[in-house]
Amino acid sequence: MKIQNKKFIYLISPNKIINKSFFKDLNLVLKSKKVSFFQLRLKKDSIKKKISIGKRILKICKKNKVKFIVNDDPYLTLKVNADGCHLGQKDMNIIKAKKILKNKLIGITCHNSLRLAKKGLLNGADYIALGAFYKSHTKKTKHRADIKSLKRIKKSVNLPIVAIGGINQKNYRNLLLNKADFLAISNYIWNNKKLKPHHAIKKFI
């Protein structure tokens, strides 16, 4: 199978960034030219630490022509001058976020729901995230999506779809074959017991 979009990976950060070696690893991973988006997803750090980390990541993303997305927080998105923000259903309303972020990208989590996907389109989202498709080690998942829901939403909502949840080198092709535009991957890259991050990314061909 030949993949049309070679930059189909939507890479999500680990939950904690402790080691300085992370920035070196990130640069090597993004050099693979397989990543379109990188999302910073830190839940427990202070704003000060998030800004410091975010500014370093922005430089690496720019150098590698990767869009930098901040999870949950439109104000942090502005502070680090990221390209956009990803919102969950319990985060800030998209319409309010758009007023803050102006022309920056906004993505929204829609679980497995056609209704939420249509609402996202109506409210001006730039992309929607669906999942979890498989068991995730990164976060607890209440909602499961499948190929059937992916096809149904793809047919009805004209927005790029990011598939999320437990995606690895064994199961990713099926999602691309069924027209997911991007695949959100985190654990397989950052917590791989056998492969370093820049070797793990090369398994997605």
Model confidence band, residue 20 (pLDDT cutoffs 50, 70, 90): confident
- Residue 137 to residue 178: CA distance in whole angstroms: 23
- Residue 50 to residue 35: CA distance in whole angstroms: 22
Q: Are 131 and 143 in contact (CB under 8 A)?
A: yes
Q: Which two tokens stand for residue 5?
A: 């979009």
For 44, 102, 151, 171, the CA distances from 158, given in Å and listed in that order, are 34, 21, 12, 24
Domain segments of the chain as ranges: 9-203
How many residues are recorded in the chain?
Answer: 205
Nearest CA to 6 out of 36, 31, 30 is that of: 36
According to DSSP, the residues that pair with 105 across neighbouring strands are 84
Helix (H, G, I), strand (E, B) or coil at 201: helix
Q: What is the pLDDT of residues 90-120, one digit of tens each?
A: 999 999 999 999 999 999 999 999 999 999 9
Identity of the amino acid at 70: V
**Residue 139, pLDDT score:** 64
Q: What is the pLDDT of residues 122-175, one digit of tens each?
A: 999 999 999 999 987 666 667 899 999 999 999 999 999 999 999 999 999 999
CATH code reported for the domain at 9-203: 3.20.20.70
pTM value is 0.95
